[in-house]
């Protein structure tokens, strides 16, 4: 059995069997999400420490499969431990956004100490740019940004876990095609841990991953993307993870722009995310999540096409995906308006 498949299956099984214990622990220590405002889509208290099971599965399976003596692997593991500690405290005590941001920057700083940083970016006209002294702030921005994209999109049962699994599998396949063993193993572990957690988290959820899980998955995906870029001389090294995580990146960017235009704090939650808008036009939780899975999967396929075929083919595929997305949302809206008209007659 290939090592990456063994890593995936081991992490999946560990996440699945440890999550019930984490549910009991969350109830015991008070890490509970109680719906207190209209933004919440659930109507009952639900434990929110599920990310601990994802972390335990990743770490336990990683000890068996990863070369822990590697400096880059050590950097990811130590940074992941710090981000999980911040997430656990937030899931229990609800930390302020400033404290969480400080923790995310500190975790990103650990990656820098172990040599993981973005040093090259793609030139749209061809080739690549060397960042020089800008590599440190850009690395911090990348890690903190991706860490928060998963956190921002974690608003429906199973949404963040499923999208993380799709993005991880996509990046794993690309890493394998580029013969990058360590990044492939890390993404296999992330995918397995997410898939193993998903049966407990899909609607109706018995547990949420909370900030512990969302920040850990986002942090590790950002870190492994940098690791893959460092090991690759190709110009697509960072475009692939951007496409693979295209849905949460777009949703987060739109949320920041929306809040800025409305004069609201960037970190202030609202009901303007894509999943809220899909539910507003009549989709159920499950339908909205499955639709967003399909979009994420389509973007993942575009990133694989980019890695294996080229920019022209990926651009054509991406155009088809975006056109199909617009048609689907338009059709959802027409159907919803028709149902509303029927009910009001």
Q: What is the pLDDT of residue 292?
A: 93
Model pLDDT for residues 168-208, shown as the tens digit of each residue:
999 999 999 888 899 999 999 999 999 999 999 998 999 99
- Domain assignment of residue 152, yes or no: yes
- Domain assignment of residue 332, yes or no: no
Position 233 pLDDT exceeds 80: no
265 vs 90: CA distance, rounded Å:
19
Q: Pick the most confident of 48-62, 143-157, 246-260.
A: 48-62
Q: Which residue has the higher pLDDT, 339 or 9?
A: 9
Q: Are 36 and 187 in contact (CB under 8 A)?
A: no
Q: What is the pLDDT of residue 307?
A: 80
Structure-token pair, residue 236 = 């697509």
Handedness of CA 168, 308, 250, 72 (dihedral sign): positive
- Measured between alpha carbons, how far is residue 301 from residues 146, 169, 240, 243 in Å? 20, 10, 10, 9
* Residues spanned by the domain of 69: 3-249
- Domain assignment of residue 270, yes or no: no
Q: Which residue has the higher pLDDT, 236 or 101?
A: 101
Read off the pLDDT band of 282 (50, 70, 90). confident
- Domain assignment of residue 316, yes or no: no
Structure-token pair, residue 259 = 């809040």
Nearest to 213 by CA among 163, 270, 254: 163
- Domain assignment of residue 325, yes or no: no
The whole-number average pLDDT for the span 129-134 is: 81
Position 344 pLDDT exceeds 60: no
- Domain assignment of residue 20, yes or no: yes
263 vs 175: CA distance, rounded Å:
41
- Domain assignment of residue 340, yes or no: no
Among 57-61, 118-122, 278-282, 313-317, name the one with the lowest average pLDDT: 118-122
Average pLDDT, the chain: 87
The distance of Cα 338 from the centroid of its chain, to the nearest Å, equals 35
- Domain assignment of residue 268, yes or no: no
The rounded percent of the chain whose pLDDT value lies above 90 is 52
Q: Are 274 and 203 in contact (CB under 8 A)?
A: no
Q: What is the pLDDT of residue 58?
A: 98
Q: Are 275 and 292 in contact (CB under 8 A)?
A: yes
CB-neighbour burial class of residue 164 (10 A; exposed 0-12, middle 13-18, buried 19+): buried
Model pLDDT for residues 95-130, shown as the tens digit of each residue:
998 999 999 999 999 999 999 998 877 665 666 677
208 vs 198: CA distance, rounded Å:
10
250 vs 181: CA distance, rounded Å:
29
Number of independent structural domains in the chain: 1
């Amino acid at each position: 059995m290939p090592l990456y498949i063994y890593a995936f299956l081991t992490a999946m099984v560990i996440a699945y069997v440890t999550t019930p214990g984490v549910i009991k622990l969350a109830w015991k220590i008070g890490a509970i999400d109680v719906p207190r405002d209209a933004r919440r889509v659930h109507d009952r208290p639900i434990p929110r420490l599920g990310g601990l099971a994802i972390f335990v599965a990743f770490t336990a399976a990683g000890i068996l499969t990863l070369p822990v003596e590697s400096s880059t692997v050590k950097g990811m593991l130590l940074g992941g431990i710090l981000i999980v500690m911040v997430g656990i405290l937030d899931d229990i005590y609800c930390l302020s956004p400033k404290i969480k941001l400080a923790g995310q920057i500190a975790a990103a700083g650990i990656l820098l100490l172990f040599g993981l940083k973005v040093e090259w970016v793609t030139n749209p006209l061809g080739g690549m740019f060397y960042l020089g002294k800008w590599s440190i702030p850009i690395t911090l921005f990348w890690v903190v940004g991706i860490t928060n994209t998963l956190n921002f999109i974690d608003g429906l049962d199973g949404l963040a876990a499923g999208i993380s699994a799709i993005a991880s599998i996509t990046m794993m396949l690309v890493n394998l095609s580029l013969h990058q063993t360590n990044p492939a193993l890390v993404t296999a572990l992330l995918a397995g841990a997410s898939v193993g957690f998903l049966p407990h988290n899909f609607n109706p959820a018995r547990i949420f991953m909370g900030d512990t899980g969302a920040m850990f998955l986002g942090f590790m995906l950002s870190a492994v993307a940098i690791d893959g870029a460092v090991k690759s001389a190709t110009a697509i090294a960072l475009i692939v993870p951007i496409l693979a995580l295209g849905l949460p990146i777009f949703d987060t960017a739109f949320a920041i722009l929306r809040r800025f235009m409305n004069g609201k704090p960037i970190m202030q939650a609202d009901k303007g995310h894509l999943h809220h808008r899909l539910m507003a036009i009549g989709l159920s939780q499950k339908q909205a999540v499955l639709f967003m899975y399909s979009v994420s999967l389509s973007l993942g396929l575009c990133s694989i096409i980019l890695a294996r075929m080229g920019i022209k083919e990926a651009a054509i595929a991406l155009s088809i995906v975006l056109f199909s997305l617009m048609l689907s949302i338009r059709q959802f809206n027409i159907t919803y308006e028709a149902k509303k008209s029927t009910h009001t007659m």
